[in-house]
Structure 1
Amino acid sequence: MTFGYSAILLPQLQSAENPENTLSIDKEEASWIASMAALPMAIGSAFGALSIGKLGRKTAHSLSCIPTLIGWLLIGHSTGIQMILIGRFVTGFFAGYLASATGVYIGEIADPKHRGFFLGGISISVSSGLFLCHLMGTFLTWRTTALLCAVLPLVSQLIIVFVPESPWWLVDRDRPDEAERAFYWCRGVTDESKKEFEALLERRRGLDHTESLRDALVPEFLKPLGIITVYIVANQWAGINAITFYSITVMRETIGDGLNEYAAMLLVDFLRFFVSIAACLQLRRFGRRPIALVSGVGTAVSLFTLSAYLYAVKSYPETKCRYIPIACLVLYMVFVTGGFVPLPWAMMGELFPSKRRSLGSGVASFAAFSAFFSVVKTTPGMFERLGADGTFLVFGAVALFGTGFVYACLPETKDRTLHDIEDGFKKRVGGKS
């Protein structure tokens, strides 16, 4: 909801029919309102990484709820642009804070056979939040939408009370009895789960729990860190969040007049939500590499096609056909949501070694949200200087680069235990690792 809110807030504040004239904004203020949520996400992810290591995964989730609630209330009751910016900063900071914890927690509690499905749930939650926020903003004022968004962190605070702490974190803190209860609460008591828990205890007994910089300069940490960081930055610069934050503007630039931009935005949101569910199911059935490659190629091709169409229309206006950009945007959303977006976040809970999972997730999240901010802040300028065709060409080129990188470097992790994945990086990395 934090990601999607600016798409309905900005058009209402910029509207000539805006009844709250005291809060009307110009283009520069609009870009800051949109990017103000992205600006603190990188900082928040660093604090989140520290929290999940020192305080625990569950505690980190819990600590994000009340401040997020306060942020939404500030926006809903704002009397000036400054309060909106503060509210956006707070909600953005804790969205970043939470990002480090979510994939790590899910990866540590889920059965290897179902881990991909549950990690894909992160993408479903983002898609459903976007759709609900945009749906409310289509029919309600931006104030009412913000106040309704405030309900979610309150519900989350109540739910988190009933789930256990990560058994991996509890073992690291030398609390094996609590770890055992948490592990079996999540997995059930079966021969397979007993065997895996015993392997977890045995592995942790043999590790030195002291931390130093030298511990991070090992292949099993540096290799997955490099893979996820490059992949997740390419993910951001493939344009998904630029389109998310400026949905209405993108619809107007690519499709033109005569179309209900809000209806088109909701259609794309619904499609993204549906594809996110399908992606979760595919992560159970297919490996990470084939999904990443198909998704990356489809994303690049749809962006290149959209760029070529928009360039052609500038020179030959008579060739204009609104169904082409709609089809390109639909295909783009299908391919990018089907793998390119969820996979880097999901793999944070899989690729990093247990001892450095907090640090790795924090560094990768910091890089992701730094790229996130740069994309959201520069997208209006790119549309103005490069045009819509040039902007989508840049996004497509980055998507193509990210796909080539995945082909060369990403190992397959489907159905492998976290121990096996860590051991694999000690030896080598690549498509056959």
Structure 2
Amino acid sequence: MTLTVGEIITALRSRLEISRGIKLPPLYKQILVASGPLISTISLGMTSGFSAILLPQLENETSIEINRSDASWIASMAALPMAFGCLLGGLLMEKFGRKATQLLTNIPCLIGWVLIALSSNLPMVLTGRFLTGLCGGLLGPSTGVYISETAEPRYRDFLLGAISLFLAVGLFLVHLLGTFLHWKTTAIICSFFPIVSFFLLVLVPESPSWLAKNKRISDAEKAFFWCRGDTEASKKEVAVLTQRQNMKNEEPQLAQLVKKEFLKPLIIITVFIVTNQWAGVNALTFYTVTIMQKTLTNGLDTYLAMLIVDLIRLLMSVLACIIMKHVRRRPLAIISGVGTFTSLFILSGYTNFVKLHPDLGTFWYTIIPMVSLVAYISFITVGFVPLPWAMMGEVFPLNTRNVGSSISSFMAFAAFFAVVKTNPAMFDVLGVDGTFLVYGMVAFWGTVFVWVFLPETKGKALHEIEDQMAGR
């Protein structure tokens, strides 16, 4: 007897549920649904952090010779296609579904890492970096949207917060591996994560919201009940979802894009997420060792400092998941912003002081920038980094969610590329102190913006957030 792919997948799901006679509770199913996209996010974190261990190793090798310009392109090549990947990712998740987009993205991501591992020249490295960066952009819109549309409000905060956690896991792993292993060996290990993500995604259903939007009501109900359980609360939410979708399908797409419930969250999330990027977090991610060498005068090994910062980022990402489950969005964003710009101002002032008084660069003066860097990573990771990506999957109406998440992700990754590409030039022209001052000023005005405009979405169903954005 020949089985179709669909029958095999169904059999795998059934086998997963009836194993040892235990049926998975809704929480475990929602974690399983989120696990595939989150494993892909580890690969994205590895992509972002890979240049920090690749560039120092290439400087000591003769197999692939690079100059300063080549190093800048290697670092920024992953960021270059991310913005355009977001637009393509938005189209794909609208046409084929949120889960299907995640599945497809793992294939070029795997190819990219294999290319890097087999590289014998600069074009191969750049091509591999381009592919893995493109996949990061493809994942941008769909990851938060897919998790938001499959998770209950009481678990959504934690699961969305896990996006930044798994990104931090990827950064820490690639830096840890690259500290002790050759960059090609590190790339081979990185290639396993898209494979794991692919097989996890095979086991779970498509987004119920996407199925309902495409008038597959029966499939939407099955997927919703599979994720949430067949409870009265689930039945009521499914009824609201299908009823609203039937009403909105009659509206022209352009009419929906000029409505307040779309434009208001688009402006808020775009400003928030661009501010996030220009606060400099990815400049530190891509040029960790270089920045450490410029900031720490002496007394502390830069690679050890890099791993300390990565570990702090990882621990704070875990804390962010916990905090987002208990603390409202607005106070968390404001506290995070204040801590971010304060630590950047201290870094700027310190590096300017050392520039004027180089004879004072003792070990104790090295502690000041190290503590400031740790504070910076801690504050930005606990709020400014996870919140805009988490809220992106919440604040847009269903019918325009793909457009809103694609545009805001595009703007985020465009700013991402600009920050990574301009960081070396900013260090040359403005100095370390001037660069940190610019990042700090952006974080300051971003904090003022979220204090005034950021909505509160914690614990609300997606249709309730939509009504809030529309002023209903």
TM-score by length of 2: 0.88
Residues in 1 aligned to 2:388 and 2:205: alpha-carbon distance in whole angstroms: 25
Partner of residue 377, structure 1: 421
Cα distance, 1:132 vs. partner?
0.5
After TM superposition, give the deviation of residue 271 of structure 1 in Å.
0.9
Deviations 1:119-158 (A, max 9, x none): 1011011000000111100000011001110010011111
Residue of 379, 382, 390 corresponding to 1:346: 390
Aligned to 1:12: 57
CA deviation after TM superposition for structure 1 residue 113, in Å:
1.6
Q: Percent identity?
A: 54
Question: C-alpha distance in 1, partners of 2:66/2:297?
Answer: 23
Counterparts of 2:129 and 2:287 in 1: how far apart (Å)? 15
Q: Secondary structure at the match of 2:447?
A: helix
Aligned residue pairs total 424
Distance 1:317 1:136 in 2: 34
Secondary structure of the residue aligned to 2:276 is helix
- In the aligned structure 2, how far is the partner of 1:135 from the partner of 1:209? 53
Task: Name the CA distance, whole Å, in 2 between partners of 1:256 and 1:33.
Answer: 27
Matching of residue 391 in structure 1 with residue 435 in structure 2: yes
Matches within 5 A, 1:181-196: 181-196=222-237
For residues 285-324 of structure 1, the aligned pairs below 5 Å read 285-320=326-361, 321-324=365-368
CA contact (8 A) 2:298 2:366 kept: no
Query: Structure 1, unaligned stretches of length 5 or more?
Result: 429-433
Q: What's the CA shift for 1:214?
A: 2.6
2:120 aligns with 79
Shift of 1:315: 1.0
Moved more, 243-252 or 182-191: 182-191
Does 1:233 find its partner at 2:274?
Answer: yes
Aligned counterpart in structure 2 of residue 2 of structure 1, from 47, 50, 70: 47
Are positions 1:111 and 2:152 aligned together? yes
Query: 1-side partners of 2:96 and 2:144: how far apart?
Result: 16
Tell me which amino acid in the other structure corresponds to 2:192: V
Q: Does residue 1:248 correspond to 2:298, yes or no?
A: no
Residues 129-208 of structure 1 mapped to structure 2, 5 A cutoff: 129-208=170-249
Deviations 1:270-298 (A, max 9, x none): 11111001101111101000000000000
Q: CA deviation at 1:399?
A: 0.5
Would you identify which runs of 4 or more consecutive aligned residues in structure 1 move more than 4 Å? none
Mapping for residues 36-51 of structure 1, pairs under 5 Å: 36-51=77-92
* TM value normalised by structure 1: 0.96
Q: Which residue does the alignment assign to 2:29?
A: none
Q: Secondary structure at the match of 1:412?
A: coil
Structure-to-structure mapping, 1:19-98, within 5 angstroms: 21-98=62-139
Deviation at 1:24, TM superposition (A): 2.3
Partner of 1:325 in structure 2?
369
What residue identity is the alignment partner of 1:304? F
Amino acid at match of 1:417: A
Residue of structure 2 aligned with 1:361, choices 386, 393, 405:
405
Are the counterparts in 2 of residues 236 and 371 from structure 1 also a CA contact under 8 Å?
yes
CA distance in 1, matches of 2:289, 2:417: 19
Distance in 2 separating the partners of 1:132 and 1:43: 27
Inter-partner Cα distance in structure 2 for 1:396 and 1:185: 46
The structural deviation recorded for 1:257 is: 3.8
User: Conserved in 2, the CA contact under 8 Å of 1:239 and 1:375?
Assistant: yes
The CA deviation at 1:267 is 1.0
In structure 1, what is the Cα distance between the partners aligned to 2:82 and 2:246?
35
8 Å Cα contact 1:172/1:209 also seen in 2: no
Question: d(CA) in 2 for partners of 1:8 and 1:349?
Answer: 32
Shift, 1:414, TM fit = 0.7
Residue 400 (structure 1) aligned to one of 420, 444, 449: 444
Counterparts of 1:383 and 1:325, CA distance in 2? 16
Deviation at 1:22, TM superposition (A): 2.9
Residues 1:425 and 2:466 are matched in the alignment? no
> Does the aligned pair in 1 maintain the 2:299–2:366 contact within 8 Å?
no
Show structure 2 runs of 5+ residues with no match. 1-45
1:195 Cα offset (Å): 1.6
Q: Aligned partners of 1:349 and 1:212: how far apart in 2?
A: 19
RMSD, aligned α-carbons: 1.1
Q: Please state how far the C-alpha of 1:209 moved relative to its aligned partner.
A: 4.7
Aligned to 1:431: none
Larger mean Cα displacement after TM superposition, 249-258 or 84-93: 249-258
